[in-house]
C-alpha cells in the first residue's frame, strides 16, 4: 500500500493517465479466466488512450465535414494546386528543365566564348574552323538538315544528329550553358557564308523554315526567281537565290574588299564533262544565262570566277584544268554580254580540296566545283 502523500508529482501524473493498479494488488482484479497459465486482470482502459481515441473521433468529424460538407481538402484540387505550383516554379526557372527554352545569345562576349568552345569541344574536327563543313554539314549556309532555329540547334546539340551520321549527342558531356553558347555561335555563322560543303537540308530565314528540301544534289527543288520582271528557273537556295539576297543586303553594302574576298558562292548547277574544260551540260548553260541576267540587273556588281578540283591526279594538271574551266566560264559570260563585269578567272586546282583522294567519287564531288565571289 502506498499513500498519495509519498508520491512524486510525476508518479501521480502517470497514475492518473494510466489508472494502473498497484503492484501486489493483482488478486483484487483477477478474473477467473486462465489461459494455460496466462491470467487476465480487470484493469480499466488507461485514460491517456481513451482521450486519444476521443480526439481521433473529433478529428475525423472535422475532416469529414471539411471534405464532404464544405468541399475543402479534396484530392483533386490538392493535385491541381500542386501542379499549378510546379508550373509556376518551372516558368520561373526554365533553365532547370529544358534547353529548348534557352534564348539565343547575340552579344559579342557570348559569341566569342561560343567560338572558343567550338574549337575546345572538337566541333572543328568535323565542321572545320570556318564552319564550312567536312564530315559534318556546312554551318554557314542557310540550309539546315535538323532545323535552323535556336530550339532545333539546341536540340541537335543535346540529342545529336540522325543515327549513323556522326553528330554526337553532347548532352552528357557539354553543359547546358556551354551548349547555349555553342548554338548561339553556330547560328551567328550564317552572317558570313563560307563556301564549303554544298547546302544540305531545308532553307531557313531568321529562324523560320522557308523552303522544303534545299539545293542538295539529291533533292533540288525547282523555283523561279524574279529579276527585273524576268523569271529565272533556279533551284531553291541555289546560287542565284544566294546572290540576289546577298547583293540586296546591307552586309554587301558595307562589305570591305577583304570580306568579299573570303565569301565565295558555289555554282550548284555547273557540270563539265569528265576531264573537259569546254563542254558543259545544257543545265549548266541555263545557270550561266541566269547569272548573266542577274549581272545585267545589277550593273555595279563585279564577279571573279574560281575553279576547284578534287585531290585525284597531279597538282599541276589539276590547276591547269581548273584554270581553263574558270576561263571558259568567263568567256561564256562575255558571250552573254556581261564580260565587263567579270574581273578575273582563277584556277585553284586542288589547293582547297578537303576530301581524301581515296574517298569515293561521290564524296569527292564537293571538291570539284566552280564558284564566284563578288567585287564592288
CA-CA distance, 51 to 130, in Å (whole number)?
81
Residue 205 CB, shortest distance to ligand HEC, in Å, is 15
Residue 180 CB, shortest distance to ligand HEC, in Å, is 11
The DSSP-derived string for 158-212 is HH-SSTTS-----TTTS-HHHHHHHHHHHHHGGGS----SPP-SEEEETTEEEEE
Block residue for cell numbers 565565295: 264
Residue 357 CB, shortest distance to ligand HEC, in Å, is 21
Entry field: residues in the chain? 376
Nearer to ligand HEC by Cβ, of 136 and 237: the residue is: 136
Nearer to ligand HEC by Cβ, of 201 and 307: the residue is: 201
CA-CA distance, 106 to 207, in Å (whole number)?
14
Residue 242 CB, shortest distance to ligand HEC, in Å, is 16
Q: Which residues of 138-158 are buried (b: 16+ CB within 10 A; e: fewer)?
A: bbbbbbbbbbbbbbbbbbbbb
Q: In the range 147-176, which residues lie near ligand HEC by CB under 6 A?
A: 153, 156-157, 161-162, 165-168, 170
Q: Does residue 135 interact with ligand HEC by CB under 6 A? A: yes
Nearer to ligand HEC by Cβ, of 170 and 235: the residue is: 170
DSSP-based three-state secondary structure for 51: helix
Tell me which of 146, 234, 305, 321 binds ligand HEC, using CB under 6 A. 146
Nearer to ligand HEC by Cβ, of 127 and 369: the residue is: 127
Block residue for cell numbers 494488488: 25
Q: In the range 335-374, which residues lie near ligand HEC by CB under 6 A?
A: none
Residue 80 CB, shortest distance to ligand HEC, in Å, is 40
Nearer to ligand HEC by Cβ, of 156 and 309: the residue is: 156
Q: Does residue 215 interact with ligand HEC by CB under 6 A? A: no
Q: In the range 67-126, which residues lie near ligand HEC by CB under 6 A?
A: 121-123, 125-126
CA-CA distance, 269 to 97, in Å (whole number)?
45
Q: Which value, to the nearest 10 degrees, does the dihedral of the CA atoms of residues 59, 63, 64, 69 take?
A: 140
Residues 121 and 185 sit within 8 Å (Cβ to Cβ): no
Question: Residues binding ligand HEC: what is the number (CB under 6 A)?
Answer: 27
What residues form DSSP beta bridges with 148?
Answer: none
Q: Does residue 182 interact with ligand HEC by CB under 6 A? A: yes
Nearer to ligand HEC by Cβ, of 136 and 306: the residue is: 136
CA-CA distance, 150 to 102, in Å (whole number)?
8
Judged by CB under 6 A, the stretch of 50-58, 65-73, 134-142, 349-357 that binds ligand HEC is 134-142
Q: Is 214 exposed, middle or buried (0-12, 13-18, 19+ CB in 10 A)?
A: buried
Residue 134 CB, shortest distance to ligand HEC, in Å, is 8
- How are the residues of the chain apportioned to helix, strand and coil, as percentages rounded to the nearest 5? 45, 15, 40
Nearer to ligand HEC by Cβ, of 214 and 349: the residue is: 214
Lay out the site mask for ligand HEC across 39-68 (x = CB under 6 A, - = otherwise): ------------------------------
Which residues contribute to the site for ligand HEC (CB under 6 A)?
Answer: 121-123, 125-127, 135-137, 139, 144-146, 153, 156-157, 161-162, 165-168, 170, 182, 186, 200-201
Amino acid at each position: 500500500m502506498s499513500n498519495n502523500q509519498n508520491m512524486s508529482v510525476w508518479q501521480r501524473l502517470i497514475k492518473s493517465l494510466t489508472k494502473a493498479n498497484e503492484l501486489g494488488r493483482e488478486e483484487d482484479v483477477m478474473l477467473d479466466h486462465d489461459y494455460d497459465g496466462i491470467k487476465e486482470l480487470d484493469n480499466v482502459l488507461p485514460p491517456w488512450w481513451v482521450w486519444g481515441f476521443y480526439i481521433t473521433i473529433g478529428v475525423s468529424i472535422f475532416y469529414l465535414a471539411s471534405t464532404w460538407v464544405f468541399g475543402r481538402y479534396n484530392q483533386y484540387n490538392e493535385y491541381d494546386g500542386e501542379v499549378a505550383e510546379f508550373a509556376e516554379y518551372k516558368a520561373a526557372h526554365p533553365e532547370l528543365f529544358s534547353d529548348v527554352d534557352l534564348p539565343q545569345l547575340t552579344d559579342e562576349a557570348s559569341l566569342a566564348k561560343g567560338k572558343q568552345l567550338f574549337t575546345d569541344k572538337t566541333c572543328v574536327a568535323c565542321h572545320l574552323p570556318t564552319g564550312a563543313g567536312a564530315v559534318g554539314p556546312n554551318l554557314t549556309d542557310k540550309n539546315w538538315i535538323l532545323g535552323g532555329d535556336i530550339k532545333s540547334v539546341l536540340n541537335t546539340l543535346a540529342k545529336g544528329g540522325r543515327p549513323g551520321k556522326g553528330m554526337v549527342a553532347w548532352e552528357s558531356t557539354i553543359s547546358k550553358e556551354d551548349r547555349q553558347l555553342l548554338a548561339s555561335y553556330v547560328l551567328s555563322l550564317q552572317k558570313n557564308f563560307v563556301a564549303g560543303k554544298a547546302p544540305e537540308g531545308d532553307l531557313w530565314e531568321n529562324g523560320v523554315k522557308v523552303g522544303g528540301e534545299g539545293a542538295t544534289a539529291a533533292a533540288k527543288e525547282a523555283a523561279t526567281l524574279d529579276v527585273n520582271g524576268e523569271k529565272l528557273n533556279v533551284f531553291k537556295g541555289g546560287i542565284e537565290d544566294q546572290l540576289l539576297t546577298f547583293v540586296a543586303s546591307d552586309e554587301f553594302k558595307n562589305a570591305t574588299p577583304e570580306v568579299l574576298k573570303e565569301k565565295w558562292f558555289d555554282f550548284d548547277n555547273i557540270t563539265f564533262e569528265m576531264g573537259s574544260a569546254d563542254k558543259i551540260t545544257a543545265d549548266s548553260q541555263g545557270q550561266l544565262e541566269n547569272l548573266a541576267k542577274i549581272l545585267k540587273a545589277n550593273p555595279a556588281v563585279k564577279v571573279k570566277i574560281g575553279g576547284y578540283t578534287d585531290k585525284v591526279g597531279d597538282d599541276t594538271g589539276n590547276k591547269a584544268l581548273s584554270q581553263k574551266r574558270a576561263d571558259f566560264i568567263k568567256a561564256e559570260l562575255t558571250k552573254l554580254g556581261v564580260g565587263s563585269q567579270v574581273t578575273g578567272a582563277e584556277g585553284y586546282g586542288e589547293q582547297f580540296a578537303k576530301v581524301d583522294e581515296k574517298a569515293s567519287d561521290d564524296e569527292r564531288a564537293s571538291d570539284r566545283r566552280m564558284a564566284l565571289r563578288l567585287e564592288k
